[in-house]
């Protein structure tokens, strides 16, 4: 007899959302999948109604984001170290603890009973252990969390905002305590859902009408006329998405695309480097329909996704090149009016939308990526004609990957920086106002650094 039946609840009374969420967590544990790439495609979430699917999604994302907070509290109520706990059992405990600590609308008894029942179904002989631990979390967990997360030390911050200690120290050093606290609080929250209206196929009023018919409420975004913040069913399952009328794109990403497009004339020759999956490529095509756009990326799988995205959005005139940016042919040198380098980066500006990034990223990655970025920007710079512009964008914020990369190129001579801060009030970088530093929550859920550099006449060589 299962634990669910012993408690008077039939097996099929276990919440479908909790069942799906746990199995989604187990899938990632077993195959190493990435949440930002694969969550929407998890078969465990297919077949759920809209309400259960939304709850399952919230449970999975929240459990992954809040791992450090959950483990800190669970560790108070377990005798043995959590590292000794069976991985599948630990995922079940974390999933339950997330609901008990951070969701107010879920009855504690239902969370505990469902977790015990799920472990029984899986044949885990840990129902008594799970029941005892979770009842303690239900009773005293929030008080324990408040105690563990109280204070100004890096470890208290790490529990409070559920992130590695090294990341806490880096953000406080880079941003200052007040801004870092706001940034981390935004990273723990559900990300803003933002889209861009594809003006190659429709206009904003028509897109809003189509989205309303699909059950999505929308709000405009000041300064970004093609951007809409939306709420409702999954955008990718809607008719406006399938028809190419809209596409998901954060505010920060759209700002980067607008900056790059503004640096190119209407019939410019434009080069988009590290372009896949083509979000900004399509934005450039919409902003400059007569431009000749070349998009380059080294990853064939991502290029195939890019081809699908550009086809859906109607950006059929883009030339796609499968090539390593560091190995571009000499014919690219000085051939483009505008170049966009959306460089590989640590992605620390996307903690809100990429649930497990904080656990996959390592501190050493930042210096390694910065070295690559400096090589990429030098190669990108060679492609710009005299008088042309180079836009450098990264969805991160450490000085090493942002100002440090741009300043390296400027120091070599032949370039001057456009004053983007004057064009985008309030977004100027606090240490160098001519560049942009977009930080959540002021401009949505994704942080970006954006710089636009202009090749000075006679500086080629």
Active-site residue 395, yes or no? yes
Separation between Cα atoms, residue 421 and residue 108, nearest integer Å: 49
Q: How far is C-alpha 283 from the chain's CA centre? A: 18
The residue count of the chain comes to 461
Other C-beta atoms closer than 10 Å to the C-beta of 149 total 18
Query: How many Cα atoms are found within 13 Å in the side-chain-facing hemisphere of 109?
Result: 4
Strands 217-221 and 224-231: antiparallel
Cis peptide before 441 (omega within 30 of 0): yes
Helix, strand, coil percent content, the chain, rounded in steps of 5: 55, 15, 30
Q: What do you get for the CA distance between the two ends of the chain, in Å?
A: 79
Q: Nearest Cα to 268, choosing from 246, 283, 253, 289?
A: 289
DSSP string, 186-236: HHHSPPP-EEEE-TTT--HHHHHHHHHHTT-EEEEETTEEEEEEEESS-GG
Q: Which of 163, 274, 345, 395 is catalytic?
A: 395
Q: Nearest Cα to 424, choosing from 397, 450, 461, 385?
A: 450
Separation between Cα atoms, residue 284 and residue 274, nearest integer Å: 14
Enzyme catalytic residues: 395
């Amino acid at each position: 007899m299962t634990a669910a039946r012993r408690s008077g609840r039939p097996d099929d009374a276990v919440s479908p959302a909790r069942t799906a969420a746990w199995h989604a967590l187990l899938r990632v544990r077993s195959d190493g999948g990435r949440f930002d790439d694969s969550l929407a495609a998890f078969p465990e979430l297919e077949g759920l109604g809209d309400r259960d699917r939304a709850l399952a999604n919230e449970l999975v994302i929240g459990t992954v984001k809040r791992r450090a907070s959950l483990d800190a509290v669970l560790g108070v109520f377990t005798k043995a170290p959590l590292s000794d706990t069976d991985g599948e059992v630990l995922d079940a405990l974390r999933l339950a603890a997330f609901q008990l600590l951070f969701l107010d609308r879920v009855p504690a008894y239902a969370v505990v009973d469902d977790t015990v029942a799920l472990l029984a179904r899986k044949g885990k002989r840990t129902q008594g252990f799970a029941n005892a631990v979770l009842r303690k979390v239900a009773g005293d967990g929030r008080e324990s969390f408040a105690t563990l997360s109280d204070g100004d030390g890096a470890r208290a911050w790490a529990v409070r905002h559920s992130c590695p200690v090294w990341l806490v120290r880096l953000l406080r050093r880079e941003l200052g305590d007040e801004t870092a606290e706001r940034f981390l609080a935004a990273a723990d929250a559900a990300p803003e859902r933002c889209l861009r209206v594809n003006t190659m196929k429709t206009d904003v009023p028509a897109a809003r009408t189509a989205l309303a018919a699909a059950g999505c409420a929308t709000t405009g975004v000041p300064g970004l006329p093609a951007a809409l913040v939306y709420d409702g069913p999954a955008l990718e399952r809607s008719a406006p998405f399938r028809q190419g009328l809209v596409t998901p794109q954060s505010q920060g990403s759209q700002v980067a695309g607008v900056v790059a497009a503004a640096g190119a004339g209407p019939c410019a020759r434009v080069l988009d480097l590290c372009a896949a999956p083509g979000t900004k490529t399509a934005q450039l095509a919409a902003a400059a329909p007569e431009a000749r756009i070349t998009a380059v990326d080294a990853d064939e799988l991502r290029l195939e996704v890019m081809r699908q995205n550009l086809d859906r959005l109607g950006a059929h005139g883009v030339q796609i090149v499968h090539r390593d940016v560091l190995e571009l042919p000499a014919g690219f040198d000085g051939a483009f009016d505008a170049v966009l380098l959306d460089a590989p980066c640590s992605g620390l500006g996307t903690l809100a939308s990429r649930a497990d990034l904080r656990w996959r990223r390592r501190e050493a990655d930042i210096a390694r990526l910065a070295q690559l970025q400096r090589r990429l920007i030098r190669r990108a710079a060679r492609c710009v004609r005299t008088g042309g512009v180079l836009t450098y964008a990264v969805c991160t914020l450490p000085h090493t990957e942002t100002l440090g990369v741009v300043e390296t190129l400027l120091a070599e001579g032949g370039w001057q920086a456009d004053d983007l801060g004057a064009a985008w009030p309030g977004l100027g970088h606090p240490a160098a106002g001519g560049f942009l530093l977009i930080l959540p929550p002021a401009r949505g859920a994704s942080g970006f650094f954006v710089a636009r550099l202009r090749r000075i006449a006679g500086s080629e060589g």
